[in-house]
Structure 1
Amino acid sequence: MRYGARNQIPAKVTSVKKGDVMTQVNFSVDVPHAMASVLTTESVEDLALAPGDAVLLVVKAIHVVPVKE
């Protein structure tokens, strides 16, 4: 997959808080910080994101886009 965002951060899913329409996914990253992303619940289900999954966080402007490889 190709995309225009250059900031890519390896991360691990730490929690998934599902809602009816939107879902918050929290991540741990190598540096001592944490990041979060809010996605539609449908997108989280399509990616099958679950705690412990390794992902690549692609950051462009204000968006954090998890890419599951």
Structure 2
Amino acid sequence: MSIQAINVRNQFRGKITSIVEDEVLSGLDIETPIGIVSSVITSRSVKDMGLVIGSEVVALIKATEVSIGKLS
């Protein structure tokens, strides 16, 4: 499946603004037109894709559950 085949509502283009690498997992913050999207991926994927701060990426969102809490 190509990126074009995924529903447009589930993908956000942006730039990586932060990478926190650990031995196995890495946390990334991506600045998008809707705000910051955070992701946790394997550190191996960060290296394999050559991701660095400033890299242009597409955040692909797949949610199987969304919980809602009421704000006061």
Aligned partner of 2:6 in structure 1 is: 5
Runs of 4+ in 1 over 2 A off after TM superposition: none
Aligned partner of 1:60 in structure 2 is: 62
Please, what is the CA RMSD of the aligned residues?
1.7
Aligned partner of 2:22 in structure 1 is: 19
Deviation at 1:57, TM superposition (A): 1.0
User: Is this contact kept in 2: 1:23–1:38, CA < 8 A?
Assistant: yes
Give % identity.
30
- SS of the equivalent of 1:60 reads coil
Unaligned runs of 5+ in 1: 63-69
Unaligned runs of 5+ in 2: 65-72
Aligned partner of 2:69 in structure 1 is: none
TM-score, normalising length: structure 1: 0.77
Q: As a proportion of its length, which structure holds more helix?
A: 2
TM-score, normalising length: structure 2: 0.74
Deviation at 1:8, TM superposition (A): 1.4
How many residue pairs align between the two structures? Answer: 61
Q: As a proportion of its length, which structure holds more strand?
A: 1
